[in-house]
Homo-oligomer: A and B are copies of this chain.
Amino acid sequence: MRTNELLPLLPDLAVLVDVVEAGSFSAAARLQGSTPSAVSRQMARLEAALGLTLLERSTRRLRLTSGGQEVVRHARSMLDAARAACDGAARHASTVAGRVRLAAPKAALRQIIHPQLPALLQTYPQLTLELQVSDQPADLIADGVDIALRLGDPPAGYVARPFMVVRTKLYASPAYLAEHGTPQHPSELVRHSCLHLAEQAGDDEWCAVRDNERVVVNVRGRYASNHSEMRREAAEWGMGIASLPDFTARQALAAGTLVAVLPGWQLLGRYQGTSWLVYHADRYRAARVRAVVDFLLGVATQQGYGAASLPAG
């Protein structure tokens, strides 16, 4: 029997099980919150469709035929399997368990997310987290990614929660500044060793802004790298003033191995704006994805990345 011939029978088979267990149409109707006439017609429809009398009945008496007994046996199995399907769905919907795949740029993974793993995995003992370094925007569906950290405009069709605001700022070691002096204005940067991005042409031209002020400076340095971690280490070694996404400098600032230079200014380039946690726009997202998103948003708030007050994308 093809599925579409079977489809309308499935609810009636389930009602048959209820009728047998309740002992009468009226009792089954009360159980289900329907009416005896509705149950009577459901049974009549089922018998017509199957071409078999399932129940012999008069007022006050109900007896399964031998064919009815066989049908009810299978109908009970059907109902049990359907209930198991629903129970499984409910468990999945409410248990933080299973794999969550998170894609984020390397810097954010290493500086912010990676250090939080022990706390997250301890909170959810059945959770498995897969971190995927992805400096290109991830294709969530094709890559099987549950959550992506995305800088800049979030893609349409997804939920986007603001995670943190990213700014590029300047940092140097106290030793470097003691030896070479601390610049008071961006224009003085031309007399300093500046560790810049060197990822594409024009990266040695820094555009610094503060309030309504905007200064463009061509800088020089004997070292450049598109790895913020390497630039940070070079700055800590006293090789010059480095441009860094501010979140990557946090630990060095806390340790005193770097200090902020021209702290009221920020550089404009390709790495500023709001970072979003992005996930698929479904109305009932799995508990584990929700748990990870909520955990990371809590981390961002707790550590003061300052995005919690921004509206959702």
Contacts and interface: CB of A to CB of B under 8 A. Distances in A.
B3 A15 contact: yes
The interface size bin for chain A is 35 or more
Contacts of A90: 50-52
A211 interface: no
A284 B3 contact: no
Contacts of A61: 141-142
Given A77-B81, A82-B75, A56 B280 contact: yes
A218 interface: no
Contacts of A285: 53
Interface in A1-47: 1-4, 6-11, 13-15, 17-18, 31-34, 47
B78 A81 contact: yes
Contact of A88 (B58, B71, B87, B282): B71
A11 B29 CA distance: 21
B284 A34 contact: no
Contacts of A141: 56-58, 61, 63
Contacts of A187: none
A89 interface: yes
A225 interface: no
Nearest to A157: B58
A83 B90 CA distance: 26
A88 B74 contact: yes
Nearest to A53: B282
Interface string A271-311: 00000000010111110000000000000000000000000
Contacts of A52: 89-90, 92-93, 284, 286
A85 interface: yes
A133 interface: no
Most buried by B among A4, A47, A280: A4
A32 B3 CA distance: 7
Interface in A79-105: 79, 81-90, 92-93, 98-99
Across the A-B interface, give the 8 residue pairs with the lowest CB-CB distance, nearest first: A67-B92, A74-B85, A10-B10, A77-B81, A78-B81, A50-B89, A7-B11, A70-B88
Interface of A: 1-4, 6-11, 13-15, 17-18, 31-34, 47-48, 50-54, 56-58, 61, 63, 65-67, 70-71, 73-75, 77-79, 81-90, 92-93, 98-99, 141-142, 144, 280, 282-286
